[in-house]
Structure 1
Amino acid sequence: MQTRSLPVPDGLEGSRVDAALAKMLGFSRTFAADIAEAGGVSLDGVPLGKSDRLHAGGWLEVSWTPKEEPRIVPVAVPELGIVHDDEDIVVVDKPTGVAAHPSVGWEGPTVVGALAAAGFRIATSGAPERQGWCTGWTSAPAA
Structure 2
Amino acid sequence: MNARQHDAIRLVLEISEREHGERLDKLIASRVTGMSRSFVQQLMKQGAILVNGQPCKPAQRVRFGDRLEVYLPPVEPPSDLEPEYLPIPVIYEDDEIIVFDKPPGIVTHPAPGHEHGTLVNALKAIRPDLQVQPSHRPGIVHRLDKDTSGLLVVAKTEPARLALLEQWQSRSVVKRYTTLVHGVVEPDSGTIDAPISRDPRERTKMAVVAWGRPAITHFRVLERFQCATLLDVTIETGRTHQIRVHCAFIGHPVVGDQQYGGNRPFCVPVPRQFLHARYLRFRHPTTGRVIELETPLPWDLRVVLERLRTLERERVPCQARG
Q: Give the structure-1-normalised TM-score.
A: 0.48
Higher relative contact order, structure no. (Cα contacts within 8 Å, ≥ 6 residues apart): 1
Considering fraction of residues, name the structure with more strand: 2
Q: Give the structure-2-normalised TM-score.
A: 0.24
